[in-house]
Chain A
Amino acid sequence: MKRATPYLLLLPALIFTVFVLAYPLIQNLFNSFYQVSLVRGTGGWIGLENYEKVFRDSEFWLAFRNTAVYAVAGTVLALVVGLAFALLLNLKLGRITTVFNVIYTIPWVISPVVAGFTWKWLLNDNFGIINHWLISLGLIHEEITWLGNPDTALLCVAIARLWQFYPFAMVMFLAGLQAIPEEQYEAAAVDGASMFQKFYNITLPNLQSVSAVLLLLGILWSFNDFNMVFVMTRGGPMNASMVLPVLVREYSFVFFDLGKGSALSVIIFALLVSLSFLYLKALSRREPA
């Protein structure tokens, strides 16, 4: 009995994991090989037909491009902004630093749905504060229809995403900055290194592993981000900001083709797993043994 006790105690967690993680994943994989339509009912095994339908769909390629732009550009920019704020906070100006630390972290703790609605109203062409400010500053002459224009909608959502992700990057970078030994900067100062040289030769190399983790997490999270895009644009106008997670919903719950939706989910999953694997492998090669 004593030997079995640990396993018995683990059992609830194991059952929970199987039901909420393994079962949906496996069922989703099965669905992707079957004709599963809520409208036409469930048909038989159709092999790779759902995958073929996805790859033949021009909307998929548009969403793929948008997702890549949204994930990569949004994450890289969030990292740059996060690093900039982390460097500012690392100046250690007493209480002011603590206050700003809290203020800068606020976007991160706001629910993505609330943040999405907030940005939607900030960017509203007629009543939004952003147009009001830009006009007041004389930067624009007429209101810009940020979310109603296919050329700007994706950019706006990416900025909102950046706004939400940069605090996480900032906190991680700040922790990384505080872990850099002070002696390295002192030695560089003795050698007469400029501020930029210190940043380039000491700060950045020391933040390499933090940056790698942030880049990977940022891209993974952005690739899977449904809330912000759905709340702000629903993939519109005219699919201009359509991203893969929103397209999964379109396939599954607008066209009610669960087979096609499942196939796309599997594609996204495979893509992200491969990306993570390749990235981590490349990273491990670069790290000294």
Chain B
Amino acid sequence: MKRLLALLFLLSLLTVSCGKKHDGIELQLWNFGDLPALIEWVRSRVDSFQAAHPGVRVVQSEKSWNMIRELLYANLTSGTGPDVMNVHANYAAEFGGAGFFTPINTFEDFEEVKSLFEPGLMESTRHGNNYYGLPCSGIAFTLVCNADLFDAEGIAPPRTWSQFREAARRLTKDTNGDGKTDQWGLVLLGADRGSFSYRFAPFLFKAGQDILTDDLTKVAFNTPRGVEALRLFVDMHQVDHSITPGFLAYHHSEVNDLFCSNKVAMSIEGPWFRTIVDQKSPGKKFYTVPVPVPDHMIALYDSLPTLQDMMMYSISAFTKHPQESWELMKSMRTLEADMDWITKDLGGIATTTGALYSPEAERKEDLALYRRELRFARPWPPHPGIISIANNVITPWVQRAIVGELSPEEAMAGAAAEAQQILDGKK
């Protein structure tokens, strides 16, 4: 027995002595996102940071977007997790407001760093008087139109809701004459609650509709304008049958496959879509245009807002090395680093003014459109409960209306009542 214990003791000593220990500071960097090019980009930035800061070791971990909230809540509520991470900008309200992120305006050179970024995008990282991140990868939701199908039909990408509905109707057809529809006007991403609400919200915004009141205390989307936005989809699905019938089961992969195989003509997407299409169907052409607006608002076509989304780099409130984390974060968001978002396909667009208006940016496909859309685009309202409202309230109620379980009025009223409960802290 003594021998056995002695052997175990020796083995444990050996294990401990073999472990590699870093004498300097160690920072944990969580990279959310599955795009290989993005992972490689982060790695290259980390390498150059470490070369410039030999006393700091950065441990990069790849995490899935699908688990982002679960992982952050599980770790940050227990005071663990990364020092630096990339997250949705609307987490500034939810996580920043809850005290899980470090307010970066407390750093001495913050104002200087802030001036690098597009003001509207920088504002998306603010909650109350504090800023909780540096912008990265701007996204404006737009309409993508399958060029093969639009050109074959001889129609232009739609600008108004009636043109949108008409285009979807004309592009829904039986292409091989077997008596059944095999091409649809529009595909919706219905199986992912978050993604679905991100595709409905641009239509609310384009209708001049707010989600919440300015003081963030009341629900604002249950109005005739909001109902009309929903009715557009209801009519397209139930009257025109121009939305893919199986949309409730679709994730990104199904939507991408349908678009690339010319089975659908339109989808609501963002800047990442070109990378995906290029990978799946190299050379395939599509038109990227603003999300259509209500007919009577066509005069405001160029300035009505769409939904803005964005990532930001944030620092955990529990980091033991705030200054080093800030240095790491800044190194990820220099002008030089942001130029990679112009020259490479990293799923979003640049966020620094220098990169966005650089000569290289002028040559980037669709960038002028995204730049303009982002100038007017609005993020989800900065309320801590907004993600829950978007994913768990708006999506299920809107879907029930689209499939005909409820009228648009009933659905919007139900969603508004449930969302108000969240705002009032009752749910």
Contacts and interface: CB of A to CB of B under 8 A. Distances in A.
Contact of A124 (B179, B254, B403): B254
Contacts of A145: 245-246, 248-249
A125 B249 contact: yes
Given A38-B77, A39-B73, A127-B257, A141 B180 contact: yes
A147 interface: yes
A254 interface: yes
A148 B73 contact: no
Nearest to A128: B246
A147 B249 contact: yes
A201 interface: no
Interface stretch (A169-177, A192-200, A230-238): A230-238
A126 interface: yes
Nearest to A127: B257
Interface string A1-42: 100010010000000000000000000000000000011010
A134 to B, nearest CB: 13
Given A5-B1, A238-B399, A255-B392, A148 B245 contact: yes
A237 B257 contact: no
B98 interface: yes
Interface residues of B, number: 33
Contacts of B249: 125, 145-148, 153, 233, 236-237
Tell me the dominant secondary structure on chain A's binding face: loop
Given A238-B399, A255-B388, A148 B247 contact: yes
Contacts of A146: 249
Nearest to B73: A38
A254 B180 CA distance: 39
Nearest to A249: B70
Interface residues of A, number: 30
Nearest to A147: B249
A256 interface: yes
A141 B179 contact: yes
A90 interface: no
A186 interface: no
B367 interface: no
B254 A1 contact: no
A142 interface: yes
Contact of B246 (A39, A147, A234, A253): A147
Which of B1, B249, B391 gathers most chain A CB within 10 Å?
B249
Contacts of B248: 145, 148-150, 236-238
B403 A256 contact: no
Nearest to A41: B77
B73 to A, nearest CB: 4
Contacts of A147: 246, 249
A237 B73 contact: no
Contacts of A150: 248, 403
A234 B395 CA distance: 14
B191 interface: yes
5 contacts: A143-B180, A145-B248, A150-B248, A236-B190, A238-B399
Q: Please list the 3 inter-chain residue pairs (A to B) with the smallest Cβ-Cβ separation, ordered nearest first.
A: A237-B248, A145-B246, A148-B246
Interface of A: 1, 5, 8, 38-39, 41, 124-127, 141-143, 145-150, 153, 233-234, 236-239, 253-256
Interface of B: 1, 69-70, 73-74, 77, 98, 179-181, 190-191, 244-250, 254, 257-258, 261, 263, 384, 388, 391-392, 396, 399-400, 403, 405
